[in-house]
Copies of this chain bind each other. A is one copy, B any other.
Amino acid sequence: MLGSHIDTVIDAGIYDGCYGVLSALEVIQTLKEDGFAPSRPIVVAAFTNEEGVRYAPDMMGSLVYAGGLPTETALATVGADGTMLGGELGRIGYAGPHEPGFLSPHAYIELHIEQGPVLERESITIGAVENVQGISWQKVTVEGDANHAGTTPISMRRDAGYAAARIITFLRERAKNSNSPTVATVGCISFEPNAINVIPSRATLTVDLRDPDEERLRQAEAALAEFLDAISQEEHVEVSVERLARFEPVRFDQRIVAKIEKAAKDRGLTSRRMTSGAGHDAQMIARIAPAAMIFVPSVAGISHNPKERTNDEHLIAGANVLLDVVGELARR
């Protein structure tokens, strides 16, 4: 099985996901044209909702496929816009007849852009991805009291917006000062009532924490929980947390990783083993089959942005490595 996903974030680039699916189709086309007779079926997957932006968690389709989330639960997920995934899949004609997981892959390989700066910085063409960092997504809600911006002394405020700002700066300072590679991001925020002369009564924000090491990821979560306690006391606000996604770091199949390195070498391409900073469908399919990933460089490390780009030369190199590894895994 080879593939990736075709959903995107808001204001996305054109490579994240689609590149892996289109390359997989191209690999099959090429193998056919070459008269290649595989030892087993070769299947292309385009997983639903890998990004998780509208419906959490991310990698939802491959998670369901791997048996990690019941189909019904996934279809009943209510999105950030209040819609239900199942209804929306029906509406756009993407609700298929098969029960997910009907195939049990011999192996899964996913080709993807790196979405980060490592390969470009080191002038390396192929990333042989051997692991994926852990992901922790939480939604934090802060409740204070609406009051008048002009008449309420600072000392009497229960300002949900200020507490939210403190959470954002806490996460950044910790990520910057700790010697660990933990990254922390607040991507979404909203205030209520969201009026210029009203102290916010409620603030809602999302927290994305990642680390390749499970123990350090737990430490980051614990530090956040401790800070939320402290800020709720200090600012007299109520803080509640909802978990949106939690995936432990994943180690890929080392034999496939080695095949990727070898395929790159045989084509005269530079390569290195590396960790994926982003989540990917491969990390879910790794639960039911040997899996690994091939990365190609992202210009300036930009992704989740319309400026996302990968040079043609690198796009072709990645697809050729995918072709060779698939040929190798499906050889008679």
- Enumerate chain A interface residues (CB-CB to B < 8 A): 9-11, 51-53, 56, 58, 114-117, 133, 135, 137, 145-154, 156, 159, 161-162, 164-166, 168-169, 172, 175-176, 183, 185-201, 206, 208, 210, 244, 276-279, 301-305
Contact = CB atoms under 8 A, between A and B. Distances in A.
A189 B168 contact: no
A9 B53 contact: no
Nearest to A114: B151
A201 B244 contact: no
Contacts of A193: 9-11
Contact of A187 (B145, B176, B196): B196
Nearest to A161: B186
28 contacts: A10-B193, A10-B198, A11-B192, A116-B148, A116-B152, A117-B153, A146-B305, A148-B304, A149-B183, A149-B304, A150-B210, A152-B183, A152-B301, A153-B183, A154-B176, A159-B185, A161-B186, A164-B165, A165-B165, A165-B166, A165-B168, A165-B172, A187-B195, A187-B198, A189-B191, A195-B304, A196-B208, A197-B208
A10 B188 contact: no
Interface of A is mostly: loop
Nearest to A201: B305
Contacts of A191: 187-189
Interface centre among A147, A168, A183 (most CB of B within 10 A): A147
A7 to B, nearest CB: 12
A8 to B, nearest CB: 10
Contacts of A190: 189-190
Contacts of A208: 149-150, 196-197
Contacts of A156: 117, 301
A322 to B, nearest CB: 20
B175 A169 contact: no
Contacts of A189: 161, 189-191, 194
Contacts of A303: 147-148, 151
A9 B244 contact: no
Contacts of A168: 161-162, 165
Contacts of A197: 9, 51-53, 58, 185, 187, 208, 278, 304
B198 A151 contact: no
